Structure 1
């Protein structure tokens, strides 16, 4: 099966005006997601980037209904799952899985790896219905270990006996146990050494090609995002500010925030043209976001209009989308 994206108009998963709010303090509202809309086609890898606290992980959890969004819609393979009852959502969970950042916390330290990886196979019925036999589970576990590059002897060991990279391979194996179509990877290499990061990213890419997987890959490392992504969505303060093909976004950023993220990389992903200076100051509070463009308090090219008029995410001539009154390219 090819890993190339299907450019048909029907996305595998789509979010429309997705919002997630939390009540904090004395009647205050924290806007973790503030009107996010995007879609991901089958076979595509959407890189989701932005500073810590911008809402990337919250978006991933809302898309998989691990948390219930406050407003908006999530549609998976044509089915609106936003308010779907758990009994009807459960069969769909086989098709969408998550890999978490903390590989150790995601594994029960008191259980053997074989039990942990086999758990989804025991909880969910076999494709034809009914329980899987022990022989079927054992055969599937052997396949999964081979897929992620671990020996079968690993199944008899405990999580603490493995390195961080090996534990992440185990988490990937468990996510793949039910042959999902969509995997949300939430900062899966952030806690690993650089050399190990490259190995895990290569594993994700190989699995995509072998299994035809679709990824939403959450990361803050632009080099990793460039290596694995076909498209990139840039988030700031709970909203998407730029969305487009990876090469265009990372080589010719349209939004000043994207350009500033790239400029902050010690060895920038992009070398063409002049980039704004690296970001200064802190991200404003999502409890009280600034009026107008939410980035204007840190923007190096801010103008008067930006302080009062919120820019909508609009399509530029080159096909990407940017929420900026004065995009750096494409006008």
Structure 2
């Protein structure tokens, strides 16, 4: 890898995550300078999400990747208003949801759902699976604003079991009677109960065996194709992200440092951090070269370094990096990076 000259960079703060989408199409999800700050004892602050802007088009699968503690899960919860943001805007179908009261937000909950990492903790062990899946159908009215009948709910439960390839008899059982992969299928079914348009999947396969991971990722991909879903798929495993995502956002210390189409980011990474993550993916070929582990420790998010947040671990650091924070800017259509001296093939 070599470095691109920074004179060739054209700043653009409104870079889109997907170059393939029509310029006139409206994003399903539009995130504008979103921040989430936690105030800690002794006057300290933790910037878990630090000025993130990105767009997700209808039908897109955005992979959100980065090391543990970078703010991926916090951002995912903010996107669905499970956690309130400190500042910024989150637009769902053009409507800013960041300041909506719960009563106004409730109808939108049907359109935005989440699949959590811990498949067991996400399910009430004292209730049958059928009761858990039926609950959102009882709480929310149908698209015509009417309360669903028992027969309608039962028919929908059977549809959901078919969607996630589980037998109808699973509805009468409890969470502890299932394997981890089966429980995650149940969580996916619950997220789909109200036919949402957006699903945020927070590390949904990280706690599963490798063989089961592949099955669940394939299920996500199949459901996306069949139902036209839009995903924000949070993961630290780039092999998983490569398999399912159409675009990728790489996070480091609360900020997006690279954003673009999956092939561009994973095959030709422009940020040294992205390059280190992709190089660390195990090679399937025996004897294939392995990159050295990324050096240094992740700085504390409470005491983030001045300048570029990655400069303490970057092998290409220069004086400018230590004092000036780079903005996310376009280096080629559909590909943006927050680096003063992006990498180039060569």
What TM-score do you get using the length of structure 2 for normalisation? Answer: 0.91
Specify the SS of the correspondent of 1:9: coil
Does the CA-based 8 Å contact 2:250-2:274 persist in structure 1?
Answer: yes
In the TM superposition, 1:305-324 aligns within 5 A as 305-324=320-339
Does the CA-based 8 Å contact 2:283-2:290 persist in structure 1?
Answer: no
Specify the SS of the correspondent of 2:103: helix
Distance 2:53 2:68 in 1: 20
**Correspondence 1:281 to 2:323:** no
**Correspondence 1:177 to 2:188:** no
1:6, CA displacement in angstroms?
7.0
In the TM superposition, 1:173-212 aligns within 5 A as 173-212=189-228
Distance 1:267 1:319 in 2: 27
Q: Which of 132, 135, 141 is the aligned partner of 1:116?
A: 132
In the TM superposition, 1:49-60 aligns within 5 A as 49-60=65-76
Does the CA-based 8 Å contact 1:7-1:41 persist in structure 2?
Answer: no
1:7, CA displacement in angstroms?
6.7
In the TM superposition, 1:7-18 aligns within 5 A as 8-18=24-34
What TM-score do you get using the length of structure 1 for normalisation? Answer: 0.95
Deviations 1:4-42 (A, max 9, x none): 977753100011000000011201000101100001000
In the TM superposition, 1:26-41 aligns within 5 A as 26-41=42-57
Does the CA-based 8 Å contact 2:72-2:251 persist in structure 1?
Answer: yes
Distance 2:121 2:21 in 1: 32
Q: Alpha carbons of 1:167 and 1:316: their partners in 2 closer, same or farther (altered >3 Å)?
A: same
In the TM superposition, 1:171-320 aligns within 5 A as 171-267=187-283, 277-320=292-335
1:172, CA displacement in angstroms?
0.3
1:59, CA displacement in angstroms?
0.4
**Correspondence 1:152 to 2:168:** yes
1:319, CA displacement in angstroms?
3.0
Q: Alpha carbons of 1:296 and 1:47: their partners in 2 closer, same or farther (altered >3 Å)?
A: same
Specify the SS of the correspondent of 2:302: coil
1:103, CA displacement in angstroms?
0.2
Distance 2:24 2:132 in 1: 37
Distance 2:327 2:47 in 1: 17
Mean Cα displacement is larger for which, 49-58 or 275-284?
A: 275-284
Specify the SS of the correspondent of 1:31: strand
| Residue ranges of structure 1 left out of the alignment (5+ in a row) | none
Which of 1 and 2 has higher RCO (CA within 8 Å, sep 6+)? 2
Distance 2:249 2:148 in 1: 39
> Following TM superposition, where does structure 1 have runs of at least 4 consecutive aligned residues deviating by more than 6 angstroms?
4-7
Specify the SS of the correspondent of 1:32: strand
Distance 1:325 1:100 in 2: 36
| Residue ranges of structure 2 left out of the alignment (5+ in a row) | 1-19
Specify the SS of the correspondent of 2:300: coil
Distance 2:343 2:292 in 1: 14
